[in-house]
Amino acid sequence: MAPQAQSPVVAGDSGPWRLVGPWYRWARPGLPEDGRLSAPAIQKFAGNDFITDFLARPQHSLRYDPVVDVVQTQDLVKVPGATLRSLLLALNAQGQVAKPGDVAAGLYRPRVAPGSLRKLYQPAHDRHYLVTCSLHCDAPGFPRVKRDQVCQAGFVVRRRRSVVPAGITASDIEAQTAPVRKLEADLMDLRTLDAAVSDPQSSAELKLNTQARQNALAAQAGQPSWSALVQHTLNTLAAQRQALQQWYEQHQITVAVDGWFPVLVNGKPSTTFGQWKALSAAEQQHDITSGEHTYPLYPLVPDPRETSHDAAGRTMYHGLVPTGGLQHDTQARARFDDQATYEIRCFVRQHHACPGRAGKAPDCHGPLVWSRPTEPFRVAAPFDVLGSANRPITIKMPDLRELAAQAALRPKGRLSPVRFVQPQHLSPKIDDGKPIENEVGGEAICSFSIPLITIIALFVLNLFLPIVVFVFNLWFLLVFRFCIPPSVQAAAGLDAALAVTPPGIDLDAEFSVKVNGLDVLVKPDELKNALTKDNGAMELRVQKDTGMDEVPVLDALGNNALGAIDQSLQDAAARQPDAQGHLPEVPPVGEPLVYEEPVTPVWTLRGATA
């Protein structure tokens, strides 16, 4: 897209100011030439006490993961000879769920393609973000500006929109972005194999077999080693992204920036309703008194006795990055959603030479200093799978024996705190097990106990899960339900073979695995027969796990679909109760917390000279 503007400055009594990123996020920590053009940093944290941790150690934040913390798209791979039921999810060339008429044109399967656009998760995902910046005087030595010279500090969140000239069609853009998306998916496949080798829970056989798979892929690509193949893919992807950027610039595909302006209600800005307004290049650095919604920046003031503090001798600010809220436009469209792209710009106001206004904030109309925009980002959806896995929730179902003992307590209704007030009472009538026609009743008040609502809700979920999976052929959804099913096992040799099968391998092709030191060649037909015809072992496990009345017929599913479901059922079946009847520990959920490496400055500030 269009290149970002240079960092704005304003002339003060001691020279121009620059609002830049914190020193520990510069390319070379502390060197003025790297800091002058840096942008404020968005730092990631976990836990409810992240503010306390940040104030003590500002640079101690979570490291961004190249797969988890970016927006993921899907790359479509054509599968020759596939049927509607042979894939986990059969798609057509447009990425839509395939129908019978799409089979002749060919079916596709999706692959995860992590991009380069940053993704910020919700507080409900146990992820929080702070924007941090520092204020300097643009003079030799890049000294800090004294904090008492600043009248006001804050930031704005703006929306970025792509402006496509007439004549550039969606197919033109797809033709340019498809090679990038394919390389991103290829790199994800390589990272998946690396994760299987480095996972401490992987068995020795799985690690050995995965390494063999890596060596075969490197040889197939003409690379001397696995690391060379990964680096070659990274270099090719970087070059392809650069070529895409050049294509954008050549065809004048630019970025427009919008600001959020609250609607005035009785002369005051509304905290709920507002609208996006386009900002010109000059308006992007306008005075905030124009009405654009702002968020506060807070000074980071360390204990003066802590001379080694990251903010010691520096003028730094921080603010909480919003990733949601109740703000909507007048058409009820949320201000923040998972489809729009955003950026942050920080600002500080310099004290005016004239005396300030007593009791006012800000107390003067001094000039503003704007930072460069932060890296663009999107906000994760509330139901994001990767994000919601970071906040595990345990719901203990009621014990029926305890409920039966408590049911005799009086007075009736004391244990039913959830009250429904019904202006019209809708009460069904059942005759011979079938609902019959009924009339709408009058007013009624019904009270329920929370345990009763919980039992019925879980029952309805378990009742409709197999129906939805069966009717819409969404068998892969069973992977997202991890239960301990009855012990119904498939052939021991097959289970062992699939257990040491590396991720990303094509189960519709012959593959060799190593079980207990012995090479095993698994043929597609043998795998299919073992999964579906070996005494119905696979079907029985699916039936027992989902509670279906009849044994499902899975003959039409392909090996890649059957293998993923079978491995998920194996993971659950392996966690059977021990001899004392105790359940094993549940597998870990979410992403591990990995922090940034501590940074030591190569250049130290000495006092404030501006």
Pair 485, 541: CB distance under 8 Å: yes
What residue type is assigned to position 489 of the chain?
Q
DSSP letters along 456-525, please? Answer: HHHHHHHHHHHHHHHHTT-GGGGGG-----------HHHHHHHHTPPTT--TTS-EEEEETTEEEEEPHH
What integer pLDDT is reported at residue 607 of this predicted model? 47
Ranges under pLDDT 70 in the chain = 1-15, 353-361, 363, 410-413, 433, 482-500, 504-506, 508-522, 524, 526, 530-541, 543-551, 553, 555-556, 560, 564, 567-588, 603-610
Per-residue pLDDT tens for 282-334?
A: 888 887 777 899 999 999 999 888 888 999 989 999 999 999 888 999 888 99
DSSP class of residue 357 equals P
Helix (H) or strand (E) holding 42: strand 41-45
Distances (CA, A) of 474 to 189, 391, 432, 443: 23, 26, 34, 42
Prediction pTM value:
0.82
Per-residue pLDDT tens for 471-501?
A: 777 777 877 776 654 444 444 556 666 666 7
Single out the residue of 138, 174, 132 nearest to residue 21, CA to CA: 132
Give the dihedral of Cα atoms 441, 447, 453, 455; nearest 10 deg: -100
What integer pLDDT is reported at residue 123 of this predicted model? 94
d(CA 403, CA 163): 62
What integer pLDDT is reported at residue 488 of this predicted model? 42
Work out whether the CA dihedral 286, 288, 294, 295 comes out positive or negative: positive
DSSP class of residue 367 equals P
d(CA 59, CA 505): 40
Q: Are strands 70-79 and 150-163 parallel, antiparallel or unpaired?
A: unpaired
The structural domains of the chain, with segments of one domain joined by +, span 10-72+116-164+253-388, 165-252, 473-588
Around Cβ 192, how many Cβ atoms within 10 Å? 15
What integer pLDDT is reported at residue 6 of this predicted model? 42
Question: Residue 262 burial by CB count (10 A; 0-12/13-18/19+): exposed, middle or buried?
Answer: middle
Pair 526, 510: CB distance under 8 Å: no
What integer pLDDT is reported at residue 500 of this predicted model? 66
